[in-house]
Amino acid sequence: MHILLTNDDGLTAPGLLALKHALTPLARVTVIAPSRNYSAAGHRKTLHKPLRIDPAPLADGSEAWMCSGAPSDCVALALLGFVKDKIDLVVSGINPHYNIGQDLTYSGTVTAAFEASIFGLPGIAVSTESDPVPNYALTAQVAAQLIQKLSERPLATNLLLNVNVPPQVIGWRITRQGARVYKDELVTRHDPRGRAYYWIGGEMPTGRLDEGTDFWAIEHGHVSITPLHLDLTAYLTMPDLESWITPDG
């Protein structure tokens, strides 16, 4: 197996190295990660400027590549031909904060795995939480165990798995995407010339603890594994919408 490994926190992030160490016994691992932090960058595609990829060893001295683009750019460049050998799986992480609920649309970690899906490859996004510091070793071990299972029963190529690992694990659950409760506030400041500028501030988001969701699983000490795909169609609403339009508009 050949795994492409990336993240959204940059090449020097400790979660990336922990995941690389855990996956190396299972597969050949090629690392291409951003040159800087791209947290909450979403599913970016850089079209307005050139991208560069340069060799940059990890902290343990092992070979890696540093990309000037976002996580999804790292995946796209690799699959478009920068990596010459066939890639079987894309893994993104370890993110030091959960990616749950509506976070998935913001997360560079998750959207890197979505990019794999666009290319017809399975992807896995891996996240944990600080408590008070992320347990990267445990999270990497969980990811390796999951990938070992997938080597025996491969994931469909149009799917990705969003994996969130609590600080203490008592079990695993297959979950659905939950609902974040955001508490954002607009913070207004003024520069020395009196011109307003803005921050998005507020309290940390929470979530609804509906049983079977990613929130519920991690709150109860379970690894949350949520299967996702890029088809965003709201199928349940289609019959109702069709009832109030005519075929020609």
Render pLDDT for 215-244 as a digit per residue (tens, 0 to 9).
999 999 999 999 999 999 999 999 999 888
Boundaries of domain holding 58? 2-178+209-243
Q: H or E element: which one contains 105? A: helix 103-106
Domain membership of residue 202 (yes or no) is no
pLDDT tens, position by position, 48-59: 999 999 999 999
| Residue 74 half-sphere exposure toward CB, CA atoms < 13 A | 34
Domain membership of residue 184 (yes or no) is no
pLDDT tens, position by position, 140-185: 999 999 999 998 888 887 899 999 999 999 999 999 999 999 899 9
pLDDT > 90? residue 1: yes
What pLDDT score does 154 carry? 85
- Residue 205: pLDDT band by 50, 70, 90 thresholds? confident
Identify whether 132 is preceded by a cis peptide bond (ω within 30 of 0).
yes
> 169: closest CA among 139, 207, 208?
139
Query: Could you give the 3-state DSSP secondary structure of residue 114?
Result: helix
pLDDT tens, position by position, 63-106: 999 999 999 999 999 999 999 999 999 999 999 999 999 999 99
> 135: closest CA among 25, 203, 54, 218?
218
Span between the terminal Cα atoms of the chain, in Å: 50
Dihedral, CA of residue 45, residue 51, residue 57 and residue 58, to nearest 10: -20
Domain membership of residue 163 (yes or no) is yes
Domain containing residue 131: CATH number: 3.40.1210.10
